[in-house]
Amino acid sequence: MLDNIKESPDQVTGWYRRAMRFLSEVRGELSRVTWPTRREVWATTVVVILTSMLFGVYLWVIDLGLSAAMDRIFRWLGTA
């Protein structure tokens, strides 16, 4: 079915032009990006670390509470 389809010379050599056009468009887009300053990166990094620590402590406390509740339930049922 595909053996009767012939590639034109434009399709064969066109990939190079398309690739070069794509790369030039990528370069143009990257030049329009507003990159964060070192101070902004530092500030957001600190926020991410502190938030992660806060959620870690929160989940640890929840885990301790649920573990204690399960221990009491198991003792009450006489399985532990």
pLDDT attached to residue 9: 58
pLDDT of 52 reads: 98
Task: Please count the helices (runs of H) and the strands (runs of E) in the chain.
Answer: 2, 0
| Rounded distance between C-alpha atoms, residue 68 and residue 71, angstroms | 5
pLDDT at 15: 84
pLDDT at residue 67, as a whole number: 97
**Tally of domains in the chain:** 1
pLDDT at residue 21, rounded to an integer: 93
Q: Which two tokens stand for residue 30?
A: 């990257």
Q: Residues 2-59: pLDDT tens digits?
A: 555 665 655 666 888 899 999 999 999 999 999 999 999 999 999 999 999 999 999 9
| pLDDT score, position 71 | 94
Which residues span the domain enclosing 45? 2-77
**How many residues does this entry show for the chain?**
80
